[in-house]
Structure 1
Amino acid sequence: MERGVLKYLKPLLALLLLLCLVRMPYGFYELVRFASMTGFSVIAYRYYKEMKEELAITFAALALLFQPFIKIALGRTMWNVVDIAVAILLIILWTKDNRHKNS
């Protein structure tokens, strides 16, 4: 049972990732890295608790990719591709979760 902010964590993270496509101050990207690492860790844990191992591993890997401590230099273009792909994944999973709960 998701409550409060956790219910909207996936679309919120998707929005933050899509905002990275626009030129923003460097601090914004750092904030997104921290928020993504934290959010993906929470999502990975929730999928682990639901015994959805593949999704748990996927989001744990995303948490490691986005972590801000040891930065992975992919270049702006590759990060944009990653941001878009992850945002799409988040929206698909959020939509699927909501549709499943409402039926």
Structure 2
Amino acid sequence: MEKLLKIFLFIFLFGCLIDFPYGYYQFVRFAALVGFGYLAFNANEQGYKNEAFVYLALAVLFQPFIKIALGRTIWIIVDVMVGIGLIVSLFFPKSKTK
């Protein structure tokens, strides 16, 4: 489930590079909030504290309720970096920190 969620988030984030109607970006923000929230909870339950913190920070960054105005260019960079990070996380083992 976690791998599939990461792949979907990757696709959604890279979809932000295309000029879609504003509703798509709102959907991505909500989907990212829910997805990263789930990943943070799951990582915390498994004892991956660093990973849980990163996912929680991403959930806060992408949340749709209090928008963080970074500008289109910076959001594109953030979307690409987070998307690449999601794909990379599929191929490298996690490290536990207590």
TM-score, normalised by the number of residues in structure 1: 0.86
Counting aligned pairs with the same residue, the percent is 45
Q: Which runs of 5+ in 1 are unaligned?
A: 98-103
Q: Please report how far the alpha carbon of residue 27 of structure 1 lies from its aligned counterpart in structure 2 after TM superposition.
A: 0.2
1:6-48 alpha-carbon deviations (Å, 9 max, x no partner): 4400011001000101100000000000000000000001110
Q: 12, 37, 41: which is aligned to 2:8?
A: 12
Quick one: distance in 2 between partners of 1:22 and 1:33?
A: 15
Give the structure with the higher percent helix: 1
Instruction: Indicate the residue corresponding to 2:73 in structure 1.
Output: 77
Quick one: distance in 2 between partners of 1:65 and 1:58?
A: 10
Q: Which runs of 5+ in 2 are unaligned?
A: 94-98
Number of residue pairs matched?
Answer: 93
**1:61-100 alignment runs, 5 A limit:** 61-96=57-92
Residue identity matched to 2:16: C
TM-score, normalised by the number of residues in structure 2: 0.90
Residue identity matched to 1:63: A
Q: Please report how far the alpha carbon of residue 58 of structure 1 lies from its aligned counterpart in structure 2 after TM superposition.
A: 0.4
